[in-house]
């Protein structure tokens, strides 16, 4: 025996026994009929037909209406089981079927009940009393229809609520996935910025030290240049490890505070590393810029890092760089300009993501980025609106 069949029997058997018991009680407590055997058969048939309500409510209703007419014709007033069972079946029809079938079932039930009442000489359907009787009967028959329609509406509302809950969950999952992708993109940008900056400084320092160690006329100068280059390489490598550990800590624990939350220190260290790599950097850092929202300051620091990295890559050691971070009106201005391109001491491959990444960072905050030749050099200018500034 299958599990579904066992579940059905667990409910159908008690229901059938209860219906049979109710039918037997009405026969025993009711008036003695002329044909008791027929009464038992018809009443029990009306009671047991309720089992069909769970599977075929329309068939159950038609069966009950047929029994209502049959009992009324053969044994008037013998039992009220069939009309009560018909009311239950009518409610099930209104619950399970549409408006047309429900309306037709209501009219069929009302007709059967009125035919049964009309056969009783004590309840004539004529005159004012007859009108009142017809209206009260129509309302009584409409009660199970109203109850069934109410349950159907509750079921539909539950279905809509469940669908909305599923949709909300799907939106939540999609939002979580989008947030994770955005966080990954942000971390990827941070990783590119710090690695590109530090590695560029290390490579250029190594190239400068190598050049000085092989071309300086005095052997002592060669040694000093090599040691200075090694010191710069060590400092850049150490700072790169610190920044990488901070990013890895964020990756392991997304709820931990971002370790890169001191933009002013980031700008100062980037300038110092660039100077050690051979750039002659002049920094103008407005005090008002330290009071703008943190997101703008971090973006300014990342832009400054990338701009100095590009100057190291494409202008080379010995270039003059004028860097500015200042507030002008309702905007934060980041401006980096370097002198005429010089033959770089070390050839570094372009990343292909630096300028694009900077532009994306700036546009997310509603700002603009302009980069290109300016006179005999190169200039990068970023404008960030100060909306939401406290």
Query: What would the pLDDT profile of 211-263 be if each residue is shown by its tens digit?
Result: 767 776 776 666 777 777 777 777 777 766 766 666 666 555 554 444 455 78
- Spatial separation of the C-alpha atoms in residues 114 and 92, rounded to whole Å: 21
Look at residue 36 and tell me whether its pLDDT is greater than 80: no
- What pLDDT score was predicted for residue 170? 86
- Spatial separation of the C-alpha atoms in residues 359 and 277, rounded to whole Å: 26
Q: Average per-residue pLDDT in the chain?
A: 76
For residue 103, give both structure tokens: 């309306």
For residue 155, give both structure tokens: 């079921």
Q: What is the mean pLDDT of residues 164-175?
A: 85
Residue 41: which pLDDT band, with cuts at 50, 70 and 90?
A: confident
- Spatial separation of the C-alpha atoms in residues 105 and 112, rounded to whole Å: 11
Look at residue 373 and tell me whether its pLDDT is greater than 70: yes
Highest mean pLDDT among 25-39, 161-175, 182-196, 218-232: 161-175
- Spatial separation of the C-alpha atoms in residues 15 and 51, rounded to whole Å: 7
Look at residue 341 and tell me whether its pLDDT is greater than 90: no
Nearest CA-CA partner of 94 in 82, 84, 107? 107
Nearest CA-CA partner of 383 in 371, 374, 373? 371
- What pLDDT score was predicted for residue 259? 46
Helix (H, G, I), strand (E, B) or coil at 75: coil
Domain residues of the chain, as ranges? 3-167, 189-385
- What pLDDT score was predicted for residue 332? 94
**Residue 141 exposed, middle or buried by CB count within 10 Å (0-12, 13-18, 19+):** buried
- Spatial separation of the C-alpha atoms in residues 342 and 85, rounded to whole Å: 100
Cβ neighbour number for residue 338 with a 10 Å cutoff:
28
Residue 63: which pLDDT band, with cuts at 50, 70 and 90?
A: confident
- Spatial separation of the C-alpha atoms in residues 52 and 12, rounded to whole Å: 9
Q: In b/e form, how buried is each residue of 164-198, taking b as 16+ CB within 10 angstroms?
A: eeeeeeeeeeeeeeeeeeeeeeeeebbebbbbbbb
For residue 169, give both structure tokens: 């969950």
- What pLDDT score was predicted for residue 10? 61
Residue 337: which pLDDT band, with cuts at 50, 70 and 90?
A: very high
pLDDT digits (tens, 9 = 90+) for 109-150: 888 888 877 766 666 667 777 788 888 888 988 898 999 899
Lowest-confidence region among 19-33, 45-59, 67-81, 294-308: 19-33
Higher pLDDT, 132 or 208: 132
Look at residue 380 and tell me whether its pLDDT is greater than 50: yes
- Spatial separation of the C-alpha atoms in residues 139 and 306, rounded to whole Å: 81
Helix axes 3-29, 36-48, angle to 10 degrees: 140
- What pLDDT score was predicted for residue 141? 87
Ranges assigned E (strand) in the chain = 280-285, 320-328, 331-338, 368-374, 377-385
Rg, Å, the chain Cα set: 44
DSSP lists the bridge partners of residue 285 as 325
- What pLDDT score was predicted for residue 349? 47
- Tallying the residues shown for the chain, one arrives at 390
Look at residue 383 and tell me whether its pLDDT is greater than 90: yes
Look at residue 384 and tell me whether its pLDDT is greater than 80: yes
Specify the DSSP class assigned to residue 31: P
Q: What share of the chain in percent tops pLDDT 70?
A: 68
- Spatial separation of the C-alpha atoms in residues 353 and 374, rounded to whole Å: 22
Question: Do the Cβ atoms of 303 and 334 come closer than 8 Å?
Answer: yes
**Residue 243 exposed, middle or buried by CB count within 10 Å (0-12, 13-18, 19+):** buried
Which CATH number describes the domain made up of 189-385?
A: 3.30.565.10
- What pLDDT score was predicted for residue 321? 93
For residue 352, give both structure tokens: 């292909």
């Amino acid at each position: 025996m299958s599990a579904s069949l066992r579940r059905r029997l667990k409910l159908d058997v008690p229901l059938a026994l209860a219906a049979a018991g109710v039918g037997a009680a009405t026969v025993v407590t009711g008036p003695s009929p002329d044909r008791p055997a027929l009464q038992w058969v018809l009443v029990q048939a009306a009671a047991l037909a309720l089992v069909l309500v769970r599977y075929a409510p329309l068939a159950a209703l038609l069966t009950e209406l047929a029994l209502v007419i049959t009992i009324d014709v053969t044994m008037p007033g013998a039992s009220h089981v069939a009309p009560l069972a018909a009311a239950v079946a009518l409610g099930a029809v209104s619950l399970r079927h549409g408006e047309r079938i429900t309306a037709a079932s209501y009219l069929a039930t009302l007709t059967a009940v009125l035919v049964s009442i009309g056969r009783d000489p004590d309840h004539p359907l004529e005159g004012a009393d007859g009108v009142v009787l017809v209206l009260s009967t129509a309302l009584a028959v409409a009660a199970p229809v109203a109850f069934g329609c109410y349950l159907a509406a509750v079921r539909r509302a539950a279905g809509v609520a469940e669908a909305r809950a599923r949709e909300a969950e799907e939106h939540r999952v999609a939002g979580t996935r989008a947030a994770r992708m955005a966080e990954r993109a942000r971390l990827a940008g941070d990783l590119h910025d710090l690695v590109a900056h530090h590695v560029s400084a290390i490579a250029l320092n190594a190239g400068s030290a190598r050049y000085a160690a092989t071309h300086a006329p005095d052997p002592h100068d060669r040694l000093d240049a090599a040691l200075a280059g090694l010191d710069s390489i060590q400092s850049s490598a150490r700072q790169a490890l610190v920044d990488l550990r901070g990013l890895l800590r964020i990756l392991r624990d997304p709820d931990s505070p971002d370790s890169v939350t001191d933009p002013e220190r980031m700008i100062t260290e980037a300038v110092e590393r660039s100077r050690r790599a051979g750039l002659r950097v002049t920094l103008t850092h407005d005090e008002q810029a330290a009071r703008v929202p943190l997101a703008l300051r971090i973006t300014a620091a990342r832009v400054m890092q990338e701009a100095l990295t590009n100057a190291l890559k494409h202008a080379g050691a010995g270039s003059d760089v004028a860097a500015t971070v200042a507030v002008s009106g309702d905007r934060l201005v980041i401006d980096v300009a370097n002198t005429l391109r010089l033959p770089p001491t070390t050839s570094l491959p372009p990343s292909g993501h630096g300028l694009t990444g900077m532009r994306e960072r700036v546009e997310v905050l509603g700002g603009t980025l302009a980069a290109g030749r300016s006179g005999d050099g190169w200039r990068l200018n970023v404008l960030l609106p100060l909306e939401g500034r406290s």
